[in-house]
Amino acid sequence: MRRPWRRGLAVLSVTALAVLGVSPQAVAADEPPTIVVTDGVTQPVFGYADAIRERLFVESTFDSDKDGLRDIIAFDVMRPKATEDGLKVPVVMDASPYYTTLCRGNDSECKIDVDGDGLLDQWPLWYDNYFVPRGYAVILLDMVGTGNSTGCPTTNAKEDNISAKQAINWLNGRATARNAAGEIVKADWHNGKSGMIGKSYDGSLAMSTAVTGVKGLTTIVPIGGPTEYYDYVRSNGVVTRGNSYVSYLANVVTNPDRREYCKPVRDAIGAADGDEHGDYTSFWNERSYVKKVPNQTASVLLYHGINDDNVRADHMSKYWYALAENDVPRKLWISQEGHVDPFDSRREVWVNTLHRWFDFWLQGIANGIMDEPRLDIERAADVWETHADWPIPGMAQTEIFLQPGTTGAGGLKLVPTAKPVTAGFQDHRTQSQNTMINNPDVVQPNRLAFLSEPLTAPLHVSGTPTMQIRAAADQADTNFGVILVDYGTDERVAHRASGEGIITLDTVDCWGLGSQHDDPCYRQTVKRVATADQELVTKGIMDAQNRISLRQSVPLVPGESYNFTWPLLPEDYVFKAGHRIGVILVASYPQYSSQADTTLANITVNLKSSKIILPVVGGTAAAHAAGL
């Protein structure tokens, strides 16, 4: 369906056969339909308007709403008409809880049945428009408890996590699907290979399906998706999203007319999520995909905004590290934006890359994509680099010690201070992030600031930094926070501004074929940039009572010193020559956490034993060359 705001807008043709209304190549009537490959990629030789559309229902293996009946998972299928004449095609699937609530994409497209025949007329996103003409089937699956599926959402518990597995099983002959008339429908047109793709929650569903090891799922493309749900609402024992946020999200994705019915399921979630302590429990283990990566066989094209403050970058890094440990075939894109889809960040290159990725893994086309560098990373707005891997090869964890300061900030050096020395500050429950990082040379009672000298050469960090301090508090509990800051003027992607780094324009471009009610045209974007004197590079927090284990809180003995170690969010950042590196140490961090500590503890830090460990490309030698 053409949205009203598009009337009168400029439509830009970006590739051959990409503009609505261009006819695909005809297939001779006396020849069997075949996939056509030119220059290493599939060509749009099949129709879109005449594609077969189905809505199917498969009985699941679970009962999320405890009504005594197994939940029914609904999904919409679009496939080339030629599949009726023997063409075998793979599947691209986007499983989502959002199709009938928040909808999908920067253009907020919903599933819409215009004529009431029970079949979709408007298909959200561009995958159907682009891939069906190229010899793919596209499935948009309604996660349990959403859209046309029965049951209730459980926010990444088992029922959510294996919703899409039901359709994969059907595609491979291991489950039964029926149409609205109750007739059994078989996927005799399927070539046995399926890929899953999706952003955010949809991305988590792709990963949760992959880590089951289900046969027939060949590849996944998760975009900014949670991989450890504990890390979505907690961080090292600190509640970052509280007040039963997990059950709140279950309510958001449930259709309004089913919210009251599903309230008991949400209440059970809220009672089990542990908001009162923030510890890791079996509730979170069920919502972890990283631990299950050893089961995974599907390859991964992973995309994440390094500055995503919704699904933070540790979701990407922990999953990526596990993929590497288990030698899963993989590629990674890291952008400078926040929670933004690559289609709205680097559109043409992303479409071409995704096309070649699916052609390789699902169509078996030898196009060389797996011989190319593993990492694409955006260094500045629309400035991309490729590298052999991530973290960047040559990275080494490098200790940088906190130094005392005579006035104002302390220092940062590659060696510890020669003599034991301490520095102190007091917790402040409502101290703002700006107060923490601004004016680092000014002594403030509620933080400690440490600054390097101006760098004499660029310093590149790539990976996950770690903070290690030896400290004592005068209370039985406190939180700790650390912020890594670049003090230096530069133009950067404005990822904290509206749009999270992009500006949406009124012009559109088109990707694929369309029909009367579904066009392939989407609003274009440009990067939003800003010049500032400093940049918050990354940050990390922990609950001091979880210093031994995330599973159990152990109170501090007031006045006794302990070693505390916690990770910052992963980063890939170049500090430029002339800039200064800043390390800011605080207690409560309200803009990162919904749970400020209530003790107002006075904290004493032993500087000789305290350091930040940075993943420096080139290691200690590079840090020394930069003047540390």
pLDDT digits (tens, 9 = 90+) for 266-309: 999 999 999 888 999 999 999 999 999 999 999 999 999 999 99
Q: Which two tokens stand for residue 141?
A: 């699956």
Q: How far apart are CA 308 and CA 449, in angstroms?
A: 25
Which pLDDT score, from 0 to 100, does residue 33 have?
A: 82
Active site residue 387: no
Burial 277-310 (b: 16+ CB within 10 A, else e): ebbbeebbeebbbbebbeebebbbbbbbbbbbbe
Q: Give the pair of three-digit tokens for residue 168.
A: 């994969």
Note the helical H segments in 375-472. Answer: 433-437
- Which residue, among 491, 524, 519, 518, has the nearest Cα to 505 in the 3D structure? 524
pTM of the shown model: 0.94
536-562 confidence digits (pLDDT tens): 999 999 999 999 999 999 999 999 999
Quick check: 321 and 462 in contact, CB under 8 A?
no
The answer to whether the beta carbons of residues 425 and 386 sit under 8 Å apart is no
Catalytic-residue membership of 200: yes
What is the structure's pLDDT at 12? 36
Cα–Cα distance, 490 to 492 (Å, whole number): 6
Beta bridge partners of 185: 177
Q: Is 339 a catalytic residue?
A: yes
The active-site residue out of 279, 308, 376, 519 is: 308
- Catalytic residue (choose from 339, 387, 460, 495): 339
Phi, psi (rounded to 5 degrees) for 11: -110, 125
Q: Which of 200, 208, 452, 593 is catalytic?
A: 200
pLDDT by residue (tens digit) across 45-54?
999 999 999 9
- The model's pLDDT over 364-402, given as tens digits with 9 standing for 90+, comes to 999 999 999 999 999 999 999 999 999 999 999 999 999
- Mean pLDDT over 178-197 rounds to 98
